[in-house]
Structure formats: C-alpha cells, structure tokens
Structure 1
Amino acid sequence: MVNGIVIPPADEDALVERELSSLADYQDAVGGWIEAIDIRRLGVTLYVPEEGQLLNQPFNPRATFLWWYYVPAARLGELLRGPVLIVGSPDSQGADRDVPEELRARFAQTSGWALDVRPRANPFWYRVQMTYDTYWEVLVWAMLILDRWPDADDVRIVEGAEIDEVPLVQP
C-alpha cells in the first residue's frame, strides 16, 4: 500500500491523503486514465489525468508550479489540469513509495517561507524582502519572478528557521 496526496485543482480545497493499492485507486484519485510525471529532484511522481487537457479539466496551479519549479525544462509549457496525485518515486523494483515526509511537512507549513534571487552574471543571492505563508505561495512567486524579471537567472526557496539565519546577500 502506498500513501499519496491528491492536489485538487482549486486552491481553496485542502490536500487529500489517499491510500493506494491498485491501478484503480490511482485512476480514481485523478478521475480517469493516468499519466506519470517524474520530479527526480524532489523524489516524487505526479500522476495526472491523461485526458485533462482534452476534457478541459480545471487548471491545477499548485501542481503546475511545483512541477515547473523543480523541472526547469517544463517551465511555462503545459499546464497540469484536474486533480493530481503525488507519490514517492519508485523503488528499485519499480513500485511507488509513500510521499516523502519532508515534502509532507513543506505542504503543511503555514508560515516562514522566503525567496532568494540570483541575477544574471552575478554569483550572489539576494533575499526578496517578503515572506510567504505557504509553500504554494512561494512556488508561484518563484515562477513569476523568473518569468517577469529579465535579469533573474535563478531563484531558490528558503524555508523555516533559515530565513533569520541567511544574510541578505551571500556568495
């Protein structure tokens, strides 16, 4: 049995814990045929509705920004639609694992997020002078900064206690 999390498309809807033991459970979680998207840096797989675009399911901003942040090649490309199921990356036998506890904690943390930006041709990181209440909010702002600020080369999310420990400018 695998413990996953369903990310509903509506931001106001809470994440839903799901126990999955069969293909039918995965399909039920997303409402139809599934397509897998690996996010290796995060150690997870997203299962999305294969026909989400075709059926004009609602845009899922939380899942999309999570994917875009951790998979730069996907940025500003396809939008994920409908409910998205997230599970841990497969083990050596190809079986999915539970969502990593560290990621569960990020999803649950409701304050203390910050964002650092590194301008092009500059080795230093600069703190954006805002804090964010949720992981989802900081993901959106990370993508907006990269899309809208032409001089931004990269962004990084800073969580929890690190906000007070990292200086404004660092190499």
Structure 2
Amino acid sequence: MDIPVIWIPADEAQPIELIEVDREDLDTYQRLVGGNIEVLPLVFPPASYFFNEEYRGSDLAINPRATQVLWSHNPHYAGCDPIQGDVFITGDVDPEGNETAVPGNYKELLQPVKFRVDIVTGSDRRWVSNGVIHDTRALAEAAGQRLFENWTQVSKFRVVPDSTPTRERVEPLAE
C-alpha cells in the first residue's frame, strides 16, 4: 500500500518533496536514505523519522533541514549531532505496526523557509529580532555571529525560521 512521505535531501539545492512509497518496500526505504535505515520517533505530532544508520563518521553530507526537524519535533534529540544524508518522514505506526501517511503538520516543510536571527541582550529574558530575514540558514548564522562579535550587549543568539513567534522567553535549559 502506498503512503505519502516527506523526503528531505541533504543537498539544500534540492527541494523537500512529498512522494508516495510502498510502506512494505524496504528497498525503497533504503534507497531514499542511501543505505540501511534507522528510525527515530518524532513527537510533535507523532511520526517516524528515517535516516541512514551509518551516518556518523560517514562522508554523507550534513542535512541541516532534517536536523532542524528532528531537534524541533523531538526535544530528546535537540542539540545532538547533526544528521547526515537524506531523510524521510512517515506518519506514526498503526496498531499493526505499519507506517502511516505523514501527518499534515509536516507538510509545512514543503514551503520555502526563510530565517531570522534572534538575540538576547543584557539581562533581558526574551529573544528579540531586528526583523531582517535571510534566505538561508547559513546567511542568518553568519549575521548572528557578526552581531555576537560586534555588539557587546548580545549575550547569545539563535537562528530560527521566520515563522517562529517573536519575544519568546529564554528557556533556562537553553543557557
């Protein structure tokens, strides 16, 4: 039975795609990740996250988009090693143990993402932004690093999708 999944290639020049796969075809799963599969749970909302089990120490390219998804949708893995290689996401497993269609919430990944830099200054306990939007995470990270190095009031910075709510409180664990 075919189900829709979200495929996130490591090559950021390639788009994230919604594709149909046979949920019982292990060869297709392995082809999508370029080798043997490993799966982790996503929890917000429940889904399954498939990647190449031999990614650590391999020559597979780092996949910043898939890493961000993992960090955002399963707090247990936030800040862990970046994922390398291509990734795909299915829905959670059904009572018989079969993967299901990817939840609609993840389809927002198909939209182009822009990034902004949020900073914390002095004793402020909220993330703030100057509203400048960057086309790529790398450009936003470079801008954040420049702010951090050149503005002594900046105590920390983060790069977030521009859709992230503004003025979020700084979490104690993030310090």
Tell me whether the two structures share a fold, i.e. TM-score over 0.5.
yes
Match of 1:66 in 2: 69
Q: Is the 8 A contact 1:112 1:131 kept in 2?
A: no
* 3-state SS of paired residue (2:5): strand
| CA 1:102–1:115: 2 relative to 1, 3 Å | farther
Matched, 1:86 2:89: yes
| CA 1:117–1:87: 2 relative to 1, 3 Å | farther
Match of 2:20 in 1: 19
Matched, 1:10 2:5: no
TM-score, scaled relative to structure 1: 0.67
Give 1:77 shift: 1.9
- Aligned residue pairs, count: 155
Match of 2:109 in 1: 107
TM-score, scaled relative to structure 2: 0.65
RMSD: 3.7
Percent of aligned positions with the same letter in both sequences? 21
Give 1:76 shift: 2.6
Structure 1 stretches lacking a partner, 5+ long: none
- Matches of 2:72 and 2:82 in 1, distance apart? 13
Q: Is the 8 A contact 1:89 1:97 kept in 2?
A: yes
Give 1:128 shift: 2.6
Give 1:68 shift: 1.6
After TM superposition, the structure 1 = structure 2 runs for residues 11-160 of structure 1, keeping only pairs within 5 Å, are 11-21=12-22, 22-104=25-107, 106-110=108-112, 126-130=127-131, 132=133, 137=137, 159=163
- Matches of 2:34 and 2:49 in 1, distance apart? 14
Larger radius of gyration: 2
